[in-house]
Structure 1
């Protein structure tokens, strides 16, 4: 069962000083199933965070729809407040996410107060902290963020999301600011929450190793659009898009030499014609696309937008031309 869907989603920002508008999200179809963890991966500036914020209603889409549990998410304040109780955000930097003047108790209880919770607030806060791995929870009630380790602060942020009993977490680089020794603990926590609570999650990351460890499915994003998606093992063991291959090649355990992409990602206000990756594509540069008879298509024809479903898909003329029959 699909819990959250993006349908033909576009987010465009006005250009400065007469520049063309920036197409930060440029036609995205994405489904997240109930109880599923999806990793959204790509290099910095590809539109991952903007897409996540649009799914949460924090950025208003220029066009397209976000559908949650069968109903379109409306932009009015009342509808968004009800929606955000069911979909919660976990930010990258726990230090920046927490008010240094608020105790742990106040930080976790804030969501309950915003949404007018009428039950036992103390019990709800204690349960959320306990689920986030801070036990006994009462020991943390009166502590301030500066008195906690980085991992404990991230657990407080997660507890603040869990206290509202959401159905979906959107985690934006949830372990990027943590020490390596703590990252595994936070990832294990997210997996345990999925098992115990049936939570779904969209994990935004540039780290394909993290995606391998936590996700059921992966969506690879480049210049505002998803270019490859599918089961995490299938995509990360047999990538079909040259961009995915390049991202994987720089992992420490990857066989062979790293693939060094030429140049920087294009400006989203000047998306190139044809395949948006073609100017940096090693397959086109090496002549392999020419041999497959698709070089002209790479330069002039935009691959169709992937439909967001759970099956493996790739937006690449060469990958499709060379796929086994």
Structure 2
């Protein structure tokens, strides 16, 4: 899944994961959990990519690996063409350029810190030179908290949920990052505020050239904000591509199921049975086959791939094109 330029074709990504594996030890001798299982994912400069999937599919583990918060068991991460190093000094420099925006602003902000101190915290940790007050003022203004001085001495409990999320975003912006990783950035907000925060992220992309990886379970959110979408299931990217193609012509049965339950979807709702399998016990064959409506309905059998669905694991998406689908049925020429 590679970043593209509409006029010049593929371009070098800003952030790239290649063959990334993240595992966690099992409890009491259980097998390791394969949280991220061979992922290729790119984010281009000035691009917003939405990483979508159910809870437990590995989205947050992948985001943490991309941020350098966990070291992968295999594969690697590159930023601006340079492999990520896990030494303390290298990680500190990297995290100035790549900032995290968490889901719950109340949990992200120290209740004893004023807004000014919350935004200035990163500047102090990284010992940034220059005028601190000026940097804090500019970050708050860019995050839509105006006039900034009005918020300097306020505490998190004195702010609305939307204002707290803007403070968190301002704290990230104060360091002048090139990319932010936003983990469910509007999940805890009222519906009336979500659109404002999404519009802010779009404005930051347009004004600053800021890239973003937005982690979400909501394909509707992806439609409103993303340039490209990557759909994740049980540690793998199963479909990826430009937002228009993914959301208007989804190919993978899992993507179709996620889209079908959106309120505005014209598709017949598909209710997935059961929960995603335990990542310590990933089933043989296609890891989605036990929940796949295409296999259950006989459509996979009609194009001659049902046996492969049950016996062969999902093919891994390659990073040589703008996207693709990892599904025996969707890739079958007899389906078309």
TM-score where L is the length of structure 2: 0.95
User: 2:81 matched to which residue of 1?
Assistant: 70
**TM-superposed deviation, 1:198:** 0.2
Structure 2 SS opposite 1:106: helix
Structure 2, unpaired ranges of 5+: 1-11
Secondary structure at the aligned position of 1:320 is classed as coil
Report the equivalent of 2:215.
204
CA–CA distance in structure 1, aligned partners of residues 134 and 236 of structure 2: 43
**Any idea what SS the aligned residue of 1:317 has?**
coil
Aligned equivalents of 2:220 and 2:191: distance in 1?
A: 12
The aligned counterpart of 2:42 is: 31
1:12 matched to which residue of 2?
23
- Structure 1 residues 162-181: Cα deviation after superposition (integer angstroms, max 9, x where no partner): 00000001000000000000
Using the alignment, how far apart are the partners of 1:304 and 1:247 within structure 2? 21
Q: Deviation per CA, 1:194-216: give whole Å up to 9, x if none.
A: 00000000000001110000000
Q: What's the CA shift for 1:308?
A: 3.5
Partners of 1:82 and 1:117 in 2: how far apart?
Answer: 11
Tell me by how many angstroms 1:322 deviates: 4.0
What's 1:193 paired with?
A: 204
Q: 1:309 to 1:159 in 2, by over 3 A?
A: farther
Q: Which residue of 2 aligns with 1:245?
A: 256
Query: Cα 1:324–1:118, aligned 2, differ >3 Å: closer, same or farther?
Result: same
- Name the CA shift for 1:310/1:135 in 2 (closer, same or farther; >3 Å): farther
**Would the aligned equivalents of 2:303 and 2:335 in 1 still touch at CA under 8 Å?**
no
What 5-or-longer segments of structure 1 have no aligned partner? none
After TM superposition, the score normalised by the length of structure 1 is: 0.98
Cα-to-partner distance string for 1:251-273 (whole Å, 9 max, x where unaligned): 01112431011111100001111
- In structure 2, what is the Cα distance between the partners aligned to 1:141 and 1:231? 40
Cα deviation, residue 303, structure 1: 2.5
Q: Take 1:309 and 1:235, find their aligned partners in 2: how far apart are those partners? A: 18
Distance in 2, Cα, partners of 1:310 & 1:194: 23
**1:166 and 1:199 in contact (8 A); partners too:** yes
State which of 229, 236, 251 in structure 2 corresponds to 1:218.
229
One of 308, 317, 323 as aligned partner of 2:328: 317
C-alpha deviation, 1:312, in angstroms:
3.1
Is the Cα contact below 8 Å between 2:228 and 2:243 reproduced in 1?
A: yes
